């Protein structure tokens, strides 16, 4: 086992360098500033593509986290560039929050306040503060947090409403993307609000923030996790009535470790103990999506008995961490074997050795999915770089 872990860490360390080198070499926008909005699998850059708030926040987080792991000045320079661009162009100076989408030159083209995007900006600013101790980054993260509590937090029913217009009024279309259900509360947004609050708490141990983290964890264990199956429910109305039966294997295994991270951050022993049990159950549920080669399928819809037989890059990255976490909690070595086997599958099918970075994914025939971005509104360095960073840190616990 020890030799497997040493090899795993060595390979992940190299892959982290490869991923971030790609983003340093290909994504800096020397034409319009900041970072380009779209690159295809052949590394053709679309300088006219819009720039997404999620993409830019994830770039900032990735380079900040990499710098916190390995103090490479090149990583810090990229983080500085991302932070400056977000603050200059994405932050709404008049109404607060962040714009969803800018055009290539930095002019807002979609000014809606998607709570998911604001959460990622809090997450990124908090990690950037850990890297730089820049007080302005911490100040802006707290300001964005206060805005979410003021406008999105559901005082009566708990949780966070999904989206608003620029002035924080209601919207007809709340969706993150076309494939999502148009509902007022979603698992996905709550998961990344939790992730953001956890990272903010590390730099700002505020008691109100702590209570919101604890409340969010309980929200998952009482509302969002299906108690029978251990999988997540994806969509809800404002009263927490479930509006979906789709199983997202990637989110199940991602939430399994992010929930534990949150519970441990607030130093609540009873909460942590409860979440450890839940985390292992969620990992067991996620095993239902495993292919024989160690890859994790995208999602399953029980009502139609329909399995989406695609292996998306981010799902594999989360599987690597989530099953490793389950091994750490349970000492069941089958979970470690899944993590290692998934990495082998990533090396064979997902990493783009010729042109850098990771493919969006492969289909059931193990063919690269065509027409998808390598860099785009949703294709970012966050999931794969975070898997590397997180696993390197975890393997270091086993001298």
Q: What CATH number is attached to the domain comprising 241?
A: 1.50.10.10
pLDDT at 286 over 90: yes
Q: What is the rounded average pLDDT of the residues 71-86?
A: 98
Q: Which two tokens stand for residue 35?
A: 């970072």
What is the percent of the chain with per-residue pLDDT over 90, rounded to a whole number? 99
| pLDDT higher than 90, residue 399 | no
Q: DSSP states of 263-297 as a string?
A: HHHTT-HHHHHHHHHHHHHHHHHHGGGB-TTS-B-
Q: Flag whether pLDDT at 368 surpasses 90.
A: yes
pLDDT of res. 1: 84
Residue with tokens 């993150």: 176
Predicted confidence band of residue 261 (pLDDT cuts 50, 70, 90): very high
Q: Are 252 and 231 in contact (CB under 8 A)?
A: yes
Are the C-beta atoms of 375 and 26 separated by less than 8 Å?
Answer: yes
* Buried/exposed 127-161: b ≥16 CB within 10 Å, e otherwise: bbbbbbeeeebbebbbebbebbeebbeeeeebbbb
| 111 Rama sector, left if φ>0, alpha if ψ -120 to 50, beta otherwise | alpha
pLDDT at residue number 224: 98
Chain segment 147-167, per-residue pLDDT in tens? 999 999 999 999 999 999 999
Show the domain range for 326: 2-395
Res. 75 pLDDT band, cuts 50 70 90:
very high
Burial (CB < 10 A; 0-12, 13-18, 19+), residue 66, is buried
Across all residues in the chain, what is the average pLDDT? 97
Phi-psi domain of 114 (left: phi exceeds 0; alpha: psi -120 through 50; beta: other): beta
Q: What are phi and psi of 176, to 5 degrees?
A: -70, -40
Query: Cβ contacts of residue 234 below 8 Å, gap of 6+?
Result: 181, 186, 187, 188, 244, 246, 248, 251
- pLDDT surpassing 90 at residue 18: yes
Q: Which tokens belong to 374?
A: 């390598």
pLDDT at 352 over 90: yes
User: Whole-angstrom Cα distance, residue 320 to residue 119?
Assistant: 24
pLDDT at residue 225 tops 90: yes
Mean pLDDT of 4-31: 98
pLDDT of residue 95: 98
Number of structural domains the chain divides into? 1
DSSP string, 160-171: B--EE-TTS---
Give strand pairing partners of 164: 113
**What tokens does 282 get?**
């969620």
């Amino acid at each position: 086992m020890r030799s497997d872990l040493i090899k795993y860490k060595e390979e992940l360390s190299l892959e982290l360098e490869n991923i971030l080198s790609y983003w340093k070499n290909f994504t800096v926008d020397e034409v319009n500033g900041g970072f380009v909005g779209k690159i295809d699998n052949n590394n053709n850059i679309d300088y006219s593509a819009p720039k997404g708030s999620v993409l830019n926040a994830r770039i900032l987080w990735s380079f900040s986290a990499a710098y916190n792991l390995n103090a490479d000045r090149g990583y810090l320079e990229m983080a500085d560039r991302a932070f400056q661009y977000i603050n200059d162009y994405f932050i709404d100076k008049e109404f607060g929050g962040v714009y969803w989408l800018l055009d290539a030159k930095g002019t807002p083209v979609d000014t809606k306040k998607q709570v998911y995007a604001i959460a990622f900006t809090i997450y990124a600013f908090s990690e950037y503060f850990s890297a730089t101790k820049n007080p302005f980054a911490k100040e802006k993260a707290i300001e964005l947090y206060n805005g979410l509590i003021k406008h999105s937090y559901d005082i009566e029913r708990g949780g966070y409403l999904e989206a608003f217009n620029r002035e924080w009024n209601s919207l007809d279309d709340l969706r993150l993307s076309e494939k999502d259900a148009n509902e007022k509360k979603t698992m996905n947004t709550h998961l990344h609000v939790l992730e953001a609050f956890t990272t903010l708490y590390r730099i700002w141990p505020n008691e109100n923030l702590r209570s919101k983290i604890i409340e969010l964890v309980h929200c998952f264990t009482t509302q969002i996790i299906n108690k029978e199956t251990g999988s997540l429910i994806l969509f809800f109305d404002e009263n927490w009535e479930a509006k979906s039966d789709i199983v997202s294997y990637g989110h199940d295994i991602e939430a399994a470790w992010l929930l534990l991270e949150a519970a441990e951050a607030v130093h609540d022993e009873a909460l942590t103990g409860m979440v450890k049990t839940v985390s292992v159950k969620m990992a067991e549920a996620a095993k239902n999506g495993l292919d024989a080669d160690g890859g994790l399928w995208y999602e399953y819809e029980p009502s139609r008995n329909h399995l989406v037989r695609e292996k998306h890059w981010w799902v594999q990255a989360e599987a690597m961490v989530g099953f490793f976490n389950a091994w750490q909690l349970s000492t069941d070595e089958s979970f470690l074997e899944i993590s290692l086997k998934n990495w082998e599958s990533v090396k064979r099918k997902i990493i783009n050795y010729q042109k850098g970075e990771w493919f969006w994914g492969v289909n059931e025939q193990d063919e690269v999915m065509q027409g998808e971005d390598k860099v785009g509104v949703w294709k970012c360095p966050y999931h794969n770089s975070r898997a590397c960073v997180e696993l390197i840190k975890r393997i270091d616990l086993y001298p």
